[in-house]
Amino acid sequence: MTVTYDYAGKVVLVTGGTKGIGAGIARAFREAGATVVVCARTPPAGETGDASARTGREADMVPIEFVRADVRDPADVARLISGFDRLDVVVNNAGGSPQAPLDGTSPRLHARVIELNLTAPLLVSQRAYPLLKASGGAVIMIGSASGTRPSPGTSAYGAAKAGLHHLARCLAAEWAPEVRVNSVVVGLAATENAEEHYEGGRAAAEATIPAGRMATPEDVARVCLWLGSPGYVTGAEIQVHGGGETPAWRWAGHPAMP
């Protein structure tokens, strides 16, 4: 059975929605009938007002609107949200971090990583709250498995994402029942930068995932469509990681284990 969603008449904001997972989420909401606005510090490559090429069926859809904004900047966030008369779903997707081992990494870099991945989603959510309350809307935080398990080189990023997951739970408790807030916790993902990030080791990385492959932007987008639709679920963390990572004992061939 194929599940479909009707977002006609709804307005959706996706931060960091010009590429990767964010662009996939924006396309999915647009295809479901929503008016979609994406923001980022730079426009999408090769586009002026649309975050994806418009061919075939997409040519009949309302273009995705791009707004230049740095979600770390309170003034930019205020300007961004002031452009809406209505807002039904906010997807806090903007984020990321370079690999940054603790040894030799400056406190300033760690502060910047936390600013982008934790403080910025709070800024956007706070500014959007009155509009979301009026529409009975939803906030979706794009979290990360790095916030649930340790990984070398991701201490600041992991701490920020762990904080984001908890922030979502707190907002869900404070803003219920008018506004629902949930997190989508993403594992290894197949985005434009995957090959570069894994330096030719993508197949080996995918072999550690029980589902046998990385998550795609479409996998994440389908969960966002569900969480953005009217419902009861709030304060939840939906894991999109293909079963996580295969336990080490499976690779060791331990005779006592299945």
Is 249 a domain residue? no
Contact 153, 97 (CB under 8 A): no
Total domain count, the chain: 1
The highest-confidence range among 23-37, 147-161, 175-189, by mean pLDDT, is 23-37
Is 2 a domain residue? no
Is 211 a domain residue? yes
What are the residue numbers of the active site?
157
Is 92 a domain residue? yes
Is 126 a domain residue? yes
Mean local confidence (pLDDT), 198-213 = 73
d(CA 36, CA 58): 13
d(CA 160, CA 147): 7
Mean local confidence (pLDDT), 84-96 = 97
Is 6 a domain residue? no
The CATH number linked to 213 is 3.40.50.720
Percent of the chain with pLDDT over 70: 85
In this predicted structure, the answer to whether residue 138 has a pLDDT above a threshold of 50 is yes
38-81: pLDDT as tens digits: 999 999 875 544 444 444 455 456 789 999 999 999 999 999 99
The highest-confidence range among 7-21, 203-217, 233-247, by mean pLDDT, is 7-21
Q: What is residue 98's predicted lDDT score, i.e. its pLDDT?
A: 85
Contact 158, 152 (CB under 8 A): no
* Prediction pTM value: 0.88
In this predicted structure, the answer to whether residue 247 has a pLDDT above a threshold of 70 is no
Is 258 a domain residue? no
Is 88 a domain residue? yes
Parent domain of 64: 11-241
Q: What is residue 48's predicted lDDT score, i.e. its pLDDT?
A: 43
